[in-house]
A and B are shown apart, each in its own frame.
Chain A
Amino acid sequence: MSILVIAEHDNNNLKGATLNTLAAAVKLEKEITLLVAGSECSSVVSEAQSADSISKVISVDDSVYKNFIAEDLSALVLTIANDYSYIMAPATTFGKNLLPRISAKLDSQQISDIISIESDDTFKRPIYAGSCIATVKSNDSIKVISVRSTAFDAIGMSNSDVEVVNIDAVDSFGLSEFVSEEIAKSDRPELTAADIVISGGRGMQSGDNFHLLDSIADKLGAAVGASRAAVDAGYVPNDYQVGQTGKIVAPDLYIAVGISGAIQHLAGMKDSKVIVAINKDEDAPIFQVADYGYVGDLFDALPELEAKL
């Protein structure tokens, strides 16, 4: 039996998390099929054909899938699900929204957010905001799995001309209708894909003060993130949130500014290669995970840091 990986993409390009999910699938040592469902997404299909380690691409190009409505995508996946023993997707907003709908219809208990594959039925995943790691064995015949992308290095893209099979779309579910989308335009990299992330916490004191981080981010080509406390305080939108209930990041460099280091935040960034903490409270828990700590007022440190970069 083989593995179906559901590609996350934007109808133009594959999202990076798809390549991490494929990397997790590779560890199961079974044949891998990549499903690309979208609308006018031929460029994604071509890109998918070069993904290493896959043996087939299934393509469905239909306006029904333009906005990746979970009700419609899950109905599509269910038409082919029984050919597979694993159905996998990234544990991103896309995968989290979609996968449980498939899992419930298959009467399978999904395993969410895996960070390692121990055997063909046993997986590790964080629980309690990453305070503990659970090792879980699945006894369902079709295993539905979401993958934490930062835990697996992306596969390469050096395959060529993998076979593409086109399948038919399923009629729209009809009860959910796409109205609109506002995607923030930014020249900066996406949080989960950035090599450098600079995040602010409650210590930033206001949303306006985030411009101090923005100008450093511009110099470093970094993405800007925030702690849950900063989001709760209304300084920045929720899609800035790094943490167990937000985004999980693992950049080469993570700079935490005015962030105390609550467990829920650490769960979202502690796999970063190098962590810098800037905080005026020398007892802040963030310093226990930081490679480089600077104890001092961020309103003095940030302009100085920007000037020295």
Chain B
Amino acid sequence: MKILVPIKRVVDYNVKVRPMADGSNVDLNNVKMSVNPFCEIALEEAVRIKEAGNADEVIAISIGKTESQEQLRTALALGADRAILVETDSLLEPLAISKALAKIIEQEQADIIILGKQAIDGDNNQTGQMLGALLDYPQATNASEVNIDGSSLNVTREIDGGLQTLKLKMPAIVTTDLRLNEPRYASLPNIMKAKKKELNVIPLSDLGVDAAPRTELLSVELPPSREAGIIVETVEELVDKLKNEAKVIS
């Protein structure tokens, strides 16, 4: 059984992103780039399934610039067996990314595709579901538990107010939520070994998908800021302010 894990190169979680001075986009000059945290959780889950003897191969795939090879090497160090970069200099929208992924999945005949529920740059939360639609595969988003049951997957999903369990016939799409697992760190020997693992680069144009942008980014601005208020000295003063000044409690 094969598991495919898409990996996105994004601005590191700890970077505070700001708009460029002319407001045309976000300023990504000289910022640290990393693997999208939800993709790390997805990869960890795939590697655990393989370690439990339920999968033969874990393939990491990224779609983006040459530099995305860094994130694929990280994925290889974390346990992926091989990696594929679909190379393009354009910044693709989720629909185009899904189309490219669908092509690769058809070639690779993966049984499970595990993705992060969203990337922390665009915050779209679309790619997994779009991929499910394009391939007509079943999906379970926001997974907090994944179990293999013969030719099916039992996935527990985090929904508003609780949990829902679905049984999906494979091949299937899973997107990960925070509590699915805690990703490991790459060890030095594994980082060294990852350098020798296979990383194939395929130009996006070879896939023959329509990747033309459908949206235009007109501007990027800072959100309206909120003024800091006052510091109260006692809890009693706080309660008094909430009752008599803000009038939000009675």
Contact A135 B121 (CB under 8 A): no
- Chain A residues near B78 (CB, 8 Å)? none
Instruction: Flag A153-197 by CB within 8 Å of B: 1 or 0 each.
Output: 000000000000000000001011111111110100010100010
Contact residues on B (Cβ < 8 Å of other chain), bracket: 35 or more
Q: B178: which of A96, A99, A180, A231 is its contact (CB, 8 Å)?
A: A231
B17 at the interface (CB under 8 A from A): yes
Instruction: Flag B1-34 by CB within 8 Å of A: 1 or 0 each.
Output: 0000000000100001111000000100000000
Q: B238: which of A102, A184, A263, A294 is its contact (CB, 8 Å)?
A: A294
Contact A101 B248 (CB under 8 A): no
- Bound Cα distance A59, B81 (Å): 49
Q: B228: which of A104, A196, A290, A304 is its contact (CB, 8 Å)?
A: A290
Q: How many A-B residue pairs have CB under 8 A?
A: 258
- Chain A residues near B167 (CB, 8 Å)? 176-177, 179
- Chain B residues near A93 (CB, 8 Å)? 141-142, 158-160
Given contacts A100-B129, A109-B93, A263-B16, contact A293 B232 (CB under 8 A): yes
Contact B220 A132 (CB under 8 A): yes
Contact B223 A274 (CB under 8 A): no
Contact B221 A133 (CB under 8 A): yes
Given contacts A175-B137, A196-B249, A273-B248, contact A133 B26 (CB under 8 A): no
B196 to chain A, nearest CB (A): 33
Contact residues on A (Cβ < 8 Å of other chain), bracket: 35 or more
Instruction: Flag A255-286 by CB within 8 Å of B: 1 or 0 each.
Output: 00000000100000010011110000010000
- 8 smallest A-B Cβ distances: which pairs? A291-B229, A100-B129, A109-B214, A104-B130, A176-B138, A183-B162, A104-B133, A100-B126
Q: Which residues of A contact B (CB under 8 A)?
A: 67, 69-71, 74, 92-94, 96-105, 107-113, 122, 126-140, 173, 175-184, 186, 190, 192, 196, 220, 228, 231-232, 234, 237-239, 241, 244-245, 247, 252-253, 263, 270, 273-276, 282, 287-295, 301, 304-305, 308-309
